[in-house]
Structure 1
Amino acid sequence: MKLYKLKAAFGTFINRIQSVDSSNNLPFSGAEYNDQKDFTAIISKLQFRLARDVYEKKMTNDFLYEAIDFYNGPLIVKLNQSKTLQFFTVSPRCKTLLDQLKLPEHRFYPIFVQIDNGIDLPYYILQINNNMTPYMDYNKSSFYGRKLKTKEISLYKKGEIKSEEELLNLPDQNIFPYDCSMYIDQELDWVYMAPFFMISEKSKQLFEENGIVGMEITPFYEVESDYGKPNDLGFLNEFGGREIIINGKSTMDGLDINNFPTADKE
């Protein structure tokens, strides 16, 4: 089974939406996170535009301020409060395609985005849950933990951790846990494995066939590790040594982990 990393493309076009506080015109604005997860009241009071710099100027002449289909943001909640939510901004035609896919819990908010002076176009904010716990079978999943100080790795085989509560309350509080083999027990076209959403072949085909602009789509096992260094498990691929299984179909089907590039093979 093939999955693909999805992110807003960064290149010719501005790739981020920001909110403008109508009361004092600050370049960035937002609101406190609330457990209801419905930001209709907040969003209805905000204005949105393509991102500018902190001096209220367009970032640089190297970017095009034109309407595309897929943006990061806006940042509606503070980063340390948005542990289970992520926001993208999508065009109406992109929303039409997303409506044909099986996504984790999500909500759309209609807005207008100022693309440039005098150009305000309809868009939707996509608020999507990146917490996979409601869709996971922990007994069929495995995990690893990295000690914050020594960077030592501890592996947890399938069945050793049976719930999110157990995962987040490991005996050693200095261990930061990650998914190693994530088992999703229902069909989903978008799955979150930090720090990105992974999308299905169906999603990729829909977006490409309809000419969606603004997405960067990379095969799961071709995502390079940051700065050319190996990931926590020693692989030069960001997700080397990790796996996503959706209803028994694995990203490792037909692959051999021993063929993945590691630092000691370079």
Structure 2
Amino acid sequence: MRQEDRLGSILRRLNEHGSVGVGALAEELAVSEASVRRDLQLLERQKLLTRTHGGAVASGVLYELPMRYRGGQNYEAKRAIAVRAAGLLPADIASVGLNGGTTNTEVGRALAERGNLRVVTNALNIATELAVRPTIDVVVCGGSARSASYELVGPLAEQTLSNINLDVVVLGVDGVSPTAGFTTHHEVEAGTNRALVRAAERVIVVADSSKFGKRMFTKIVDIAAVSDIVTDAGASPADILALENLGPTVHVVRPD
């Protein structure tokens, strides 16, 4: 397991349980206790936990895992979701909006080989990857950078987005619920996401099945506001039916 993936696993366990032990982590992650101690030291330097005798405890409450430690979660499902979402876009499409997140990072990579495409994004990492592609015209909105998601958010971002029109927005979310709608952790981020949705003629949501049934702090939009949802086979038939009854078409992928 890569160190980045180990660090993400440690933070997820802290988020769930509040504390972790060196011995249990070494066994679960199949590495030495010395490796675990080095990982804990690194995370402590980043102020993400507090080490204790034999383990660590959470520094405050970890409501949102930093994006740099989320890349390995459900990677195959996210990649398959991204490929399907990119396949839903017509060949002659001119403009696509992308917000941030690990699944939309994969959508950006899936779009990288398309020609004559303008991508509008508030995600710094996606913009960096696509800016080197000569066939992609990248537009980045302004705003304040969120370290947890690498996104530019806030009034400056929303002002930019209010003056453009997009053919499609592919929207990554943190929670999907028939009653709560599409939700995310951060209220300012949600406002910028709503600005992206308002700019679009069509909205496609990409969300792996771990997001289903979750209600995060802030609502982005209702389920009925989007045309399509792309997810993986971990979503239950009951969840899919409940979402489709509200309007969107749900596309289910099965990673190889």
What TM-score do the two structures reach when normalised by structure 1? 0.26
Higher RCO (C-alpha 8 Å, min separation 6): 1
**Structure with greater strand percent:** 1
**Structure with greater helix percent:** 2
What TM-score do the two structures reach when normalised by structure 2? 0.27
Larger Rg: 1
